[in-house]
Structure 1
Amino acid sequence: MQERFEDANPGNELSSGDTLLPEGVLAQHALWQFDKGGDLQDLLHLLKYERLTTVGIDLGRELGKRVHKHPFLSRTVKEAPQAVILPVPLHYLKFRYRGFNQAFKIAKGFQEAWPDIPLCDIKSVVRRKNTRTQTGFSLEKRLQNIEDAFRVKVPSVVDKKLIIIIDDVFTTGATTFELAQTVRASGAESVVVLTVAQA
């Protein structure tokens, strides 16, 4: 699978693109470059809209293996006193409509490569705002759309921990960085953002 797609971060930089990382976000890493109209987009479409959830688990497993090979991320995750995997939460109305959270499936696959790290319970950190899709929005509009979208209902789940945020695609960082800010405000020590694709 690795040979089919372009590595988004071959130099193992702290960010897969030229994104400035907010305070407390140690790194942002994507597995592959998003290929509009290509095979990776097809796989993510199968996961999100055709409910082929095993695709998400397979992609997450590949992401987990790649993090083992990233010197900074591997060391950071291994040396963290406590860490938790946090898939980007889906609003309950979208969850009810879709029947699953694609980020959660990716996170499950990621956990197979990092079995000692627990997966955050879906009721502990929630999406309280049923946001519209961010596709086609400017950065300013994305930030407005996602502002105050998340809530930590059980602060002890994130307190003093390294939070590994997992999502499918990283575009501007509006969603994952808003979630990072929310968990940091609830006591998280630091955050890394991991995604399958970098758009």
Structure 2
Amino acid sequence: MKELIRNMIKGVSDIVFPRVCVCCGRENTECQRQLCSFCLQERFADANPQNNRISSDILLPAGVIAQHAMWTFDKGGELQDLMHLLKYERLTTIGLDLGRKLGERVRKHPFLEKKLSRRTSVILPVPLHYLKYRYRGFNQAFKIARGFQQVWTDLALCERTCVVRRKNTRTQTGFSLEKRLKNMKNAFRLNDPSQLAGQLVVIIDDVFTTGATTFELAQTVLKAEAHAVVILTVAQA
């Protein structure tokens, strides 16, 4: 009887709230996911199809051994719309979907797969300033990192207070590289170096543009005597 009731409720729910992909609008058969398999597999361009150590043309600072973005950012396109749904419409399950896909993509990157599998590693989502966190209610980088960890189950996720963001910087869209770097200077504070010492720190964020944010965070964690840093993002702008 209980099973019958559950099936009836599920049937009504599927009619009233049909499971559709938030990206393409097609029926989504993946339970508790916002994105369909097609959009996760085929819709967006791979930002690093050759599996290079760097997916951008930016010189990495000392201590950062790799920078990898999964997809190429399409300003004004569907990927940007997807990011906005995650960040501003609070569809946080999108972050988990993207994080899992990023984790699967890294499994196919020989250099990264080897480094993350053979070295004691810890995942560090880019921290959000507490005022933005209070306004938004969540950190999109943390959601992506949580999805990533569901694929890389042996990797620990840093506690949220390990590194905090002490500067409430506004959006850096349209800023020059010089202004971005100045804006991010001393933006992070390290509270618990013991979580990072000797570790390969995997920094995770949504979009990589100039590297100003993630490079500043990398320098902060390297002061905690982290072994090295890898930067992973969903998109490359």
- Specify the TM-score bucket, using the shorter chain as the normaliser: over 0.9
C-alpha displacement at 1:169, in angstroms? 0.2
In the alignment, does 2:133 pair up with 1:95? yes
Match of 1:175 in 2: 213
For residues 50 and 32 of structure 1, the distance between their equivalents in structure 2, rounded to whole angstroms, comes to 21
C-alpha displacement at 1:132, in angstroms? 1.5
Match of 2:194 in 1: 156
Give the counterpart letter for 2:222 in structure 1.
R
Greater shift in the superposed pair: 167-176 or 132-141: 132-141
Match of 2:232 in 1: 194
For residues 63 and 112 of structure 1, the distance between their equivalents in structure 2, rounded to whole angstroms, comes to 11
For residues 175 and 146 of structure 1, the distance between their equivalents in structure 2, rounded to whole angstroms, comes to 6
For residues 179 and 33 of structure 1, the distance between their equivalents in structure 2, rounded to whole angstroms, comes to 22
- Show the 5 A alignment for 1:61-76: 61-76=100-115
C-alpha displacement at 1:28, in angstroms? 0.2
Match of 2:165 in 1: 127
Give the counterpart letter for 1:7 in structure 2.
D
Could you state the TM-score of these two structures normalised by the residue count of structure 2? Answer: 0.83
Match of 1:8 in 2: 47
SS in 1 for 2:96: helix
Give the counterpart letter for 2:68 in structure 1.
H
Could you state the TM-score of these two structures normalised by the residue count of structure 1? Answer: 0.98
SS in 2 for 1:143: helix
For residues 76 and 171 of structure 2, the distance between their equivalents in structure 1, rounded to whole angstroms, comes to 19
C-alpha displacement at 1:42, in angstroms? 1.0
Give the counterpart letter for 1:41 in structure 2.
Q
SS in 2 for 1:61: helix
Give the counterpart letter for 1:109 in structure 2.
G
Give the counterpart letter for 1:86 in structure 2.
L
Match of 1:28 in 2: 67
Ranges in structure 1 where 5+ consecutive residues have no aligned partner: none
Runs (4 or more) in structure 1 with deviation over 6 Å come to none
Ranges in structure 2 where 5+ consecutive residues have no aligned partner: 1-39
Greater shift in the superposed pair: 163-172 or 31-40: 31-40
Give the number of the structure whose alpha-carbon radius of gyration is greater. Answer: 2
Match of 1:59 in 2: 98
TM-align CA RMSD: 0.6
**Aligned residue pair count:** 198
For residues 133 and 120 of structure 1, the distance between their equivalents in structure 2, rounded to whole angstroms, comes to 25
Aligned identity (percent) is 70
